[in-house]
Amino acid sequence: MTVTHDWAAGLDQADQTAFDEALAFTRRADIGGVLACLLPGLDEQRRTSVASHCALAHTAVLVFPASCGELVARLRETGLTVAEPVPSVVVRDRLAARHRVPAGDLDVSIVRVRLPLGEHSGRVVELFVLPVPPGSPLARIAERERIERNESHLALEVGTQDAVVLAGLCTLADQGGLTPDGGGHNAMEDCTVLYFRSTGTGTVHPEHQRRLELRVPGQHPAVLAAHLAQTMDEPVKRLQKLMTGAWTTQAIAVAAELGLPDRLPARAGELAEQLGVDPDALARLLRYLAATGLVAPQGDGYTLTATGEPLRRAAEHSLHPVALLYGGLFYQSFGALAHAVRTGREGFAEVFGQGLFGYLAEHPDQAALFDAAMAASTPMFEPVPELADLGDARVVVDIAGGNGELLSRFLNHDPRLRGVLVEQAHVLERARTHLADAGCADRCELVAGDFTRGMPADGDVYLLSRVLHDWDDEQCLAILRNCAASVRPGGRLLIVERLLPVDGRAAMAVAWDLHMLCTMGSRERTAEHYERLLVAAGFDLVSVHDLPLDGGLLQAVRRPAGPVGPRPAAA
């Protein structure tokens, strides 16, 4: 729970919120939970080792009051114990470098706010204070830093000055998922400061837990120099790694095309002979795949890692067809991303002369690959029937349900249910086989049709799984209104989609949103965006649940017959 303090009159609300959040976190945090969040790449034993040398010192945020002295006075008026401000050389220099201003123009202070007695009284919230009076040219720095929170962090006090232990802590931070992010020697406190930041590999952190500060008493020039050298190299290396991402996509696709994952473990020379490829070139590909973590050296050969294992054709929910699709049609489509960004229209049609689904209808081999790739995401469906509020439902209508995977899960979940699958005729042939294999074909009617024009009426539950993200808002609204016209009043509509986050956290939907723009000229949406569309179509959104693979389940109920809502506002 955030504890608010009325100390910030005249101060930006974002600053007060940042302080209140830091204060609340400092009150409840424990070293084990902090390390588990900050260092997800370490196992419990190594985190315990880190904890044995460190103690939680403070939580830090950067704020921008009009006056540092006035801020200190207001804090003290609330009863908080506040130390006198001291200069902050490290943060001042970091701000100066980041915003390209002379360090002398930045009067940055540290204001330490100590927790009251009985509330981890040794802990502190550390405020970095850069005064920004009204009209100050520093307002642009404050605006950017409030958004990015570059200086928000947690600090651990290191209880040893042993150089070997310090080097070990830096190594463990790297192994745990952090990367060097500057530092220095604070002469005022005779303390060496080493900053690290999260690599953002999918782990969601509160804003103040994206960065870590290790505080080591005394001067440690060798440790600091090594840390700063890594910091200087890191941005360039990180950018270069991002720019070579297309190489990784193609390396994985070629490995899948050759069938490498199905032949490992094996020696490179034997593989080259079996596949009829150049031995030296294959050895170089395997070495690259090892650098990405998909394979690992084993003797004079290679074996698959846990990350590479899903590339086997026989793996459950194999990603083999996904690798081929991403390295094939979708890879070529992304070559027209600039066209999509400039025009808002899909890059796929620019490359192939027609939309994705039209192309697939004319190329059965690619359509089969597409279906197989989509099947790799079926773990997303696992909890859906259990989460769905079926009530007394008897008929489930799956709109554009592909091979019927989700529908079969509903029918096997509740033997009282009868299903209707609406798809294009050539897709229904593949669905017929899948439903028979799932043992529920006798309870499912297959209907060939265009769901954008109409759909079977009087179903109790309608399913739209990964359908709406293929369409723009106007087309989505038309589809939802078709559903509203078909489902009985009080009936349910279940939507499965990846939902865009609203808090800036890392999520698969962010990448898929750009993918949908380039491939379909469409988009992913937030839950709130979908709710606006649902209301306009005559539904009420009643629940949202998280699903595996960053999926989301939205459940909506058809309102009693009557006028539908207004056209939703633009996102």
What is the distance between the alpha carbons of residues 465 and 279, in angstroms, rounded to a whole number?
A: 45
Write the DSSP symbol of residue 104: G
Conformational region of residue 222, where left means phi above 0, alpha means psi within -120 to 50, and beta covers everything else: alpha
What is the distance between the alpha carbons of residues 343 and 353, in angstroms, rounded to a whole number?
A: 16
| The 3-state secondary structure of 119-141, one letter per residue | CCCCCEEEEEECCCCCCCCCHHH
Conformational region of residue 446, where left means phi above 0, alpha means psi within -120 to 50, and beta covers everything else: beta
Catalytic residue among 208, 227, 469, 515: 469
How do 418-423 and 444-448 pair as beta strands?
A: parallel
Question: Which of 4, 34, 42, 236 has the alpha carbon at shortest distance from 123?
Answer: 34
Residue 518 CB contacts under 8 Å (≥ 6 apart), including other chains: 333, 334, 336, 337, 340, 346, 347, 348
Token pair for residue 199? 């690599």
Instruction: Compute the C-alpha angle 35/39/40, nearest 5°.
Output: 110
Residue 239 CB contacts under 8 Å (≥ 6 apart), including other chains: none
Question: Which of 204, 201, 193, 203 has the alpha carbon at shortest distance from 170?
Answer: 193
User: Is the link from the previous residue into 134 a cis peptide, with omega within 30 of 0?
Assistant: no
For residue 469, indicate whether it is catalytic: yes
Phi, psi of 415 (to 5 degrees): -65, -10
Transcribe 177-240 into DSSP letters. TEEEEEEEEETTTTEEEEEEEE--SS----GGGSEEEEEEES--HHHHHHHHHHHHHHHHHHHH
What is the distance between the alpha carbons of residues 21 and 25, in angstroms, rounded to a whole number?
A: 6
How do 211-217 and 539-547 pair as beta strands?
A: unpaired
What is the distance between the alpha carbons of residues 274 and 263, in angstroms, rounded to a whole number?
A: 9
Block residue for tokens 């709109």: 399
Cα dihedral 63→64→68→72 (10° resolution): -40
What is the distance between the alpha carbons of residues 281 and 288, in angstroms, rounded to a whole number?
A: 11
Q: Reduce the DSSP state of residue 57 to 3 states and report it.
A: strand
Q: How far is CA 445 from the centre of its chain?
A: 38
Radius of gyration of the chain (CA): 28
Active site residue ranges:
469
